[in-house]
Chain A
Amino acid sequence: MLAISNAKVCASRNSSKLSFFFILLLTLLSSTSDLWAQDYNTLHIPAALYGTNFNLTIIDTFKQILSGNQTITGGINDDFWGPTIFVNKGDTVHMNVLNKLNDSTTIHWHGMHLPAVMDGGPHQIIPPGTLWQPYWKITNNAATYWYHPHLHQMTQAQIIKGVGGFLIVRDTEEAALPLPRTYGIDDIPLVLTSRRYLSNNQFDLTNIYGDYMLTNGTPNAQVSLPAQVVRLRILNAEVERGYDLGFSDNRTFYVIANDGGLLDAPVAVTRLKLLVGERVEILVDLSKNSAGSSVNLQAFNGGQPFGFPGGEPATSGNLGSLLNNTTFTVLHVIVAAPTSGAITSIPKTLVKNTYWTDADVTNSRTITVTDQGPGTPFTFDHVGFVFNTINKTVPLGAIEKWTITNNNTFGHAFHIHDVEFKVVSRSSGSVANYEQGWKDVVYLPKSESVSFIAKFDDYSDAIHPYMYHCHFADHEDGGMMGQFVVEGSAGVKNAPLPEVSYTLFPNPALKKLFIQLEDPRVVVYYITITTINGRTVMMLPQPDLSNGIDISMLPSGSYIVKLMDKESKQITIRKFIKE
């Protein structure tokens, strides 16, 4: 750009040499274009995993991002980010999450409706070397979800390192629609992040707004897409930056899904705001683009008011960035020949959603963003996150209206676990057409109140909480989180609690360990297996014991089984020997 601007200035100063400079300008433009073309890198498409049993190994690793030294990164089965997990609605999925990081972590299944003890919030800490095995039945609608670390005060660092991945749910309704769904060809996952680098090529783990884009972990990303209707599944996985997305030619594109499901019909837009944690699926019609032409997906963040994260004017310092308050490219698209069986038109309708309304609401709550200032973290209702404090109790089956008020100094992205909700009002005006679907993160601008309605269904647990929080990683690490439990009907418990007694067999065991409960009324809430020295090696929330516990991967030695009963939370201990 600098070369072009200089050439133009020179031409205007000396009209007698206009033709010479015009030729020079063309030469500069031509050579600069070539340089730009060489500056792009092919977009990385995360590996796809299918089925119902998934092995996810979280690793400390490294990646060649800059020239020179490699960057220390975190990944899941990869050197940055993780595989895209495809699951079908109605299936029960089993996750084998092995933490081989140097630190403890958690993995939260963002957007999933599942038991709290499987949810992967800050309480389900997976120590290094430990296998965590949650499982649940997929009841979410077809949409784009994700999984990421949620360890209190470590979320930002682990997200910046690159730990996370997409989780895509498919269902029969979505499958019946004429939508692009060939992964990596016309159905593209895009995780938007940016990073600041230290002088030794390492990520600045304290940084809020990165200076350089990393789209799917690729700097200066470029993708070749067929000249047809393509689907982009876009996730904002930043620490704090929001994106006001659009295309460089200001074309219309079509929002077909929000965080938790398809919309009733595509919504035509030229811009949409995507805050941290939010996902959106869009259709882009490239059928009228000639092969070889290009267009950029851009963040039109220039001119955003203070309060929009990334709208700050500073270019340096902790809240500054080279990308702040500018328009910048997040993906360079080169149009290629269409594929066979291409989707060539935007569908008129999608699915029929039935959303909760005010008439359905059984209880209302208000939450206010509070506290701020240098050295003072944001909170909800002046209460920062405390591990052992339950902030809200929601009755099982309740349909609740939550109103979040932000009369504070800055915008936030409010996220709640367990449910997908319907945004019903914004105090600043109407809810945007492109955010009318099921959501689990909502942009909460400053000086605004947002109301949503959700049903807290299926899973109750009086002990293990779900979270609600700002999804800005630095804000949640700072304690802008609350906890809620969903409580079922307690009833009157006249019957004495069953005695927790069980037998382990075989002992010694080689491949599988079986547990025989003496009282069938005992429901196992949690099993932890540790070495004789106390190091945790396996964590099994609410395990299905019918097929035994697979211990084949454990080294030979003595181990301790800690079994927690669901009703009494009593823990009983047995030893076994792994052959």
Chain B
Amino acid sequence: MASYVSGVVTDIPKESSPIGKEIQNFRLQNVDGKAIGLENFPQAKGFVIVFTCNHCPFAKLYSRRFNDLSAKYRSLGIPLLAVNSMDTSVYDEERFANMQERAKVDHFEFPYLQDPLQTVGKQFSADHTPQAFVIWKEAGKWMIKYSGAIDDNGKHPEKATPFVANAIDELLASKPVSHPEYRSLGCAINYRE
């Protein structure tokens, strides 16, 4: 068994935190061809918005976990919506037809929405795939309560700390999110100028 270095590490704080930012409603086309927006879920207490894509090897590791999160929290009033904000003019694999194929092959049990103008990605300031946001309804507004990585082990979910699930559980228990941000990692979402 190989051993690996560990020990002193440093981190660089993100320039601006999205926590507490209000999210405006959006409508995007799902892989089934229908447009979906937050208003389609009138009973929702909150949402898990995950930014993912077709071509990123690290994002591909999370398909089953997205399904698990969706299955666990949809009935509790927190649907999961996956959004693809990758620039289709640059990445051919991110075409809508490829999204449909990806949803089919990976058995997505949640909406997989295309963000062709990247407006939703910009609204969230999403910077990587995969990256999760938990938004929660407060006084009729959708507020970001969690931003960052899904968990802390891409390849071995059984060893991972479930950051998103923990955040939702705290919100469901009417507690503040104790760790509202973890740096996301994976493939950068590059925005058109």
Question: Which A residues lie at the B interface, using CB under 8 A?
Answer: 38-42, 59-62, 64-70, 72, 100, 102-103, 127-129, 196-202, 204, 206, 211-212, 219-220, 316, 322, 531, 533-535, 555
Check B154 against A62 for contact (C-beta < 8 Å). Answer: yes
Check B91 against A128 for contact (C-beta < 8 Å). Answer: yes
Check A220 against B58 for contact (C-beta < 8 Å). Answer: no
A70, A100, A220, A535: the one contacting B155 at CB < 8 Å is A70
- Docked complex Cα distance between A314 and B187 (Å): 32
Closest A residue by C-beta to B151: A69
List 23 A-B residue pairs with CB atoms under 8 Å apart, sorted by A's residue number.
A41-B2, A41-B3, A60-B56, A60-B57, A66-B6, A67-B4, A69-B185, A70-B153, A102-B187, A102-B188, A103-B190, A128-B91, A129-B90, A196-B9, A199-B10, A200-B149, A200-B152, A200-B182, A202-B185, A204-B12, A316-B10, A534-B89, A555-B92
B137 located at the interface, meaning its Cβ lies under 8 Å from any Cβ of chain A in the complex = no
Residues of B within 8 A of A64 (CB): 4, 155
B162 located at the interface, meaning its Cβ lies under 8 Å from any Cβ of chain A in the complex = no
A129, A197, A220: the one contacting B3 at CB < 8 Å is A220
Closest A residue by C-beta to B129: A102
A67, A102, A198: the one contacting B56 at CB < 8 Å is A102
B55 located at the interface, meaning its Cβ lies under 8 Å from any Cβ of chain A in the complex = yes
- Docked complex Cα distance between A66 and B6 (Å): 6
Closest B residue by C-beta to A60: B187
User: Which parts of B121-162 form the interface with A (CB within 8 Å)?
Assistant: 149, 152-155, 159-160
A39, A69, A103: the one contacting B154 at CB < 8 Å is A69
Known contacts A72-B185, A102-B91; can you find 11 more A-B pairs with CB under 8 A? A67-B4, A68-B152, A69-B153, A69-B154, A70-B154, A72-B186, A100-B55, A196-B9, A200-B182, A212-B5, A220-B3
B8 located at the interface, meaning its Cβ lies under 8 Å from any Cβ of chain A in the complex = yes
Number of B residues near A (Cβ < 8 Å) is: 33
- Docked complex Cα distance between A32 and B151 (Å): 35
Residues of B within 8 A of A128 (CB): 90-91
- Docked complex Cα distance between A100 and B6 (Å): 30
Q: How far is the CB of B82 from chain A (nearest CB, A)?
A: 18
Q: How far is the CB of B130 from chain A (nearest CB, A)?
A: 12
Check A67 against B152 for contact (C-beta < 8 Å). Answer: no
Contact A62/B58 with A102-B188, A200-B182 known, Cβ cut-off 8 Å: yes
The digit string for B54-78, where 1 denotes a CB below 8 A from any CB of A, is 0111100000000000000000000
Residues of B within 8 A of A202 (CB): 183, 185
Check A198 against B183 for contact (C-beta < 8 Å). Answer: yes
Q: How far is the CB of B54 from chain A (nearest CB, A)?
A: 12
B8, B90, B149, B182: the one contacting A127 at CB < 8 Å is B90
B39 located at the interface, meaning its Cβ lies under 8 Å from any Cβ of chain A in the complex = no
Question: Which B residues lie at the A interface, using CB under 8 A?
Answer: 2-6, 8-12, 55-58, 89-93, 149, 152-155, 159-160, 182-183, 185-188, 190
Check B9 against A197 for contact (C-beta < 8 Å). Answer: yes
A41, A42, A59: the one contacting B4 at CB < 8 Å is A41
Contact A198/B9 with A60-B187, A533-B89, A535-B89 known, Cβ cut-off 8 Å: yes
- Docked complex Cα distance between A555 and B95 (Å): 13
- Docked complex Cα distance between A499 and B126 (Å): 50
Q: How far is the CB of B183 from chain A (nearest CB, A)?
A: 5
B5, B55, B185: the one contacting A200 at CB < 8 Å is B185
Contact A211/B8 with A62-B58, A64-B155, A68-B153 known, Cβ cut-off 8 Å: yes
- Docked complex Cα distance between A100 and B91 (Å): 9
- Docked complex Cα distance between A87 and B186 (Å): 35
Check B190 against A102 for contact (C-beta < 8 Å). Answer: yes
Q: How far is the CB of A167 from chain B (nearest CB, A)?
A: 26
Residue among B5, B57, B93, B152 with the highest chain A CB neighbour number at 10 A: B5
Check B4 against A219 for contact (C-beta < 8 Å). Answer: yes
Check B9 against A199 for contact (C-beta < 8 Å). Answer: yes
Residues of A within 8 A of B183 (CB): 198-200, 202
Closest A residue by C-beta to B184: A200
- Docked complex Cα distance between A220 and B188 (Å): 30
Check A69 against B152 for contact (C-beta < 8 Å). Answer: yes
Residue among A41, A66, A70, A531 with the highest chain B CB neighbour number at 10 A: A70
Q: How far is the CB of B95 from chain A (nearest CB, A)?
A: 10
Check B6 against A535 for contact (C-beta < 8 Å). Answer: no
- Docked complex Cα distance between A200 and B92 (Å): 30
Q: How far is the CB of A391 from chain B (nearest CB, A)?
A: 29
Residues of A within 8 A of B9 (CB): 196-199, 201
Q: How far is the CB of B180 from chain A (nearest CB, A)?
A: 15
B6, B92, B185: the one contacting A129 at CB < 8 Å is B92
B5, B89, B154: the one contacting A220 at CB < 8 Å is B5
Closest A residue by C-beta to B160: A69
- Docked complex Cα distance between A69 and B156 (Å): 8
- Docked complex Cα distance between A535 and B55 (Å): 17
Residues of B within 8 A of A72 (CB): 58, 185-186
Residues of B within 8 A of A197 (CB): 9
- Docked complex Cα distance between A115 and B97 (Å): 41
Contact A198/B4 with A69-B154, A129-B91 known, Cβ cut-off 8 Å: no
Residues of B within 8 A of A40 (CB): 3
Contact A204/B10 with A102-B56, A198-B183 known, Cβ cut-off 8 Å: yes
- Docked complex Cα distance between A60 and B154 (Å): 14
Closest B residue by C-beta to A79: B57
- Docked complex Cα distance between A555 and B97 (Å): 13
- Docked complex Cα distance between A267 and B8 (Å): 39
Residues of B within 8 A of A219 (CB): 4-5
- Docked complex Cα distance between A199 and B187 (Å): 18
Closest B residue by C-beta to A213: B5
- Docked complex Cα distance between A157 and B6 (Å): 22
- Docked complex Cα distance between A570 and B153 (Å): 52
Q: How far is the CB of A113 from chain B (nearest CB, A)?
A: 34
Check B57 against A61 for contact (C-beta < 8 Å). Answer: yes
- Docked complex Cα distance between A211 and B187 (Å): 24
Q: How far is the CB of B3 from chain A (nearest CB, A)?
A: 5
- Docked complex Cα distance between A316 and B11 (Å): 12
- Docked complex Cα distance between A323 and B102 (Å): 45
Q: How far is the CB of B96 from chain A (nearest CB, A)?
A: 14
Closest B residue by C-beta to A214: B5
Check B12 against A198 for contact (C-beta < 8 Å). Answer: yes
